[in-house]
Structure 1
Amino acid sequence: MVRKAAGVPDSKIGEIRNFSTKIEAYNTNRINEQRVDRNYYEDNFEVGITDPFHVVRTGTSARVVDSIIDHLELSNPQVFQKPRKNTEAARKSSAKIAKFLNKLIQQFMPEITEFTRNLVLYGEAVGQVQYNNQYSDGLDDSVPLMFTAPDPMNMFCWPYDVLVPQKVVKKFMMKEMALHGMIPEWKGEVLAGEVDYLAYWDKDTRYIEAGKTALSKGNNGVEVNYLKFVSFVHCYSGFGKKSA
């Protein structure tokens, strides 16, 4: 269900939007630097060459980044759980846990690879753990959790230099058609443009809006975060610019 936020945002929504604006402004230099990094990776950066000469795009920058990822052993990860006690029951329990964890990590490997690539390319990476709404206990390959590695250029974590941040903002332009596919009740004007997408988490609150319209349920769109922690991890590698 899509809920319209009030014409005058309540104090919490106003606080969230204000925090979002401030943290985006604070990270301006980081985003600009990462945009330069991405342009080099995609090999579309400007080159000061004019006629009669022409530019040859070799893709070297992408190969430098990808070669680091290729050297990581990601094909067959293994997780082991040490038994807490030297008993048959404890060994069976640890084997069951290890089997489940290996199932999770196999499902997560594409996103773990992307997470690692972001560390090398952008100098930082953000990982999000969330419930899988499509989970079915009857399917062997179905897992209750999802791990995703969103684009760091869309992510704003506070404090910056901790593994599990206290506040997280996800902010980017979303195509109305994609939003309508996720939420059929969404009523865009023409479903052909883009809208501002904003998601916010802290230990007490979750709030999501698009085009100033609250998408999450709850008090005027503000939901309780029942986890009581922010289910994100934030790392930086030192390969790129980490500072704002």
Structure 2
Amino acid sequence: MEPVITISALGDNYIYLYRYHRNNAFAVDPGEAGAVLEALEKHGLNLTDVLITHRHFDHTGGVGDLKDKTGCNVISGEQAEVLLDGNVKIQVTATPGHTRDSVCYYVQPTEEHSGLLFTGDTLFVGGCGRPIECDARTLWQSLRKLAALPNDTLVFPGHDYTQENYEFALTIVPDNPEVKSRLDEIKKIQRQGLPTVPSTILQEKTTNVFLNANKPEIKAALNMSNAADADVFTELRRKKNIFG
């Protein structure tokens, strides 16, 4: 049984349910309540907690109704670690960039699964969020924290922008075989109507141009071979904003 249930909502949002001890579950970034309540009933789960990566409404819109209907707790990153029944340990990492208060949640590995990383709008499959309340340098530093996690960590972002992200990547590294292959894979997944998550930290370090702003090939592609890593990342983010 997979520990994470992926719920598509609001067009391109992902909401997640993580099931743990005795049919309990926590939700991550419930932008709407209805889809979460349906999934809880379908899978026979009891919602104990809601984890919020940042305060934007498309990630929090369902919190009030879920709290009213289930009595769940709401966790929004004030603590460094969350402990749940069944020895579930969740590390909370501050990742400012998209917003000043953005956090990511890392569920420690268990016998059933490797580490799980819920990234909100900080890290996407093949991309990253827009730095709205902070500068791009701040977001770069946050992404470096995530890249340091174990390679087998499963990555669960807040949106499905995956195909667009890899199409953008090919404007930077058009001859990169791994990026080409990954885009083909994503298109096949989408044709089947399946979510494009999870990814892994290794997959992102291999094919996500934003995580590779420190690599010589990315710098050379931008004619920035002697530039600081953060400056290269800033230029990548500027180009992506124009791309869409």
Q: Could you say which TM-score interval applies, normalised by the shorter chain?
A: under 0.3
* TM-score, with structure 2 as normaliser: 0.27
Higher relative contact order (CA 8 A, sep 6+): 1
- The structure with the largest alpha-carbon Rg is 1
Greater strand content:
2
